[in-house]
Amino acid sequence: MPLPGAFRAAFRDEPCYLRLSSNTDVLMNIELVAAAEFAKSEARNYLSYGIIFGILIAMAFYGFFLFVSLKYRSYLYFILYTVSVGLWLFYVQGFAKVLFGQMPGFDQAMLWFWAGMFITWGTIFTISFLELQKTSRFLFYILAAALGKATQHAALVEMSLSFSCPAFQRTRHFMLQSESASISKPRACA
């Protein structure tokens, strides 16, 4: 298995430096594992997320059938909440990159947009389902304030997307390549 010099040095417990750049805060954990172990781990992760997304889709369909049969508006809010959570998780875990390619500015904006949307729809569902306007005015006002903040957040993200066309046009991503400037190879790693 051919490794760049920096990674060979890491296996020999020598100092090795890696330089990453990003427009946002990045927390990057780098772990060297064998290919077979990595494949097993990825298979387990994909299976886990497949189960999670399957449950979210089943919940959305269940909510849809409840909405159609009972005509209770709260179930529509539940469907929107479930879909928003699923899309937020889709962007958080990086699955959107597989379908839509590398667009870090857009991905980050969508991550925050869907976070605002699932808080918005979750709050509306809670207010509607528990009928807080009738039963608990105090909780209603607290959740209404949270709803206003979440909706404002989602709207601001959407507005920033529409005014910042470079986020759609440029993609800035970093790749770990031994030839690129992304990896600094100090003399100890050579």
pLDDT given at position 33? 78
- What number is the average pLDDT over the span 107-119? 83
Q: What is the pLDDT of residues 131-148, one digit of tens each?
A: 998 999 999 999 888 888
- Which position has the higher pLDDT, 174 or 79? 79
Does residue 49 have a pLDDT over 80? yes
Grade residue 121 by pLDDT with cuts at 50, 70 and 90. very high
pLDDT given at position 44? 93
The whole-angstrom separation of Cα 70 and Cα 130 is 16
Does residue 15 have a pLDDT over 80? no
Domain locations in the chain as residue ranges: 39-165
Does residue 88 have a pLDDT over 50? yes
pLDDT given at position 62? 96
* This prediction's pTM: 0.69
Grade residue 57 by pLDDT with cuts at 50, 70 and 90. very high
Least confidently predicted of 8-12, 19-23, 49-53, 106-110? 8-12
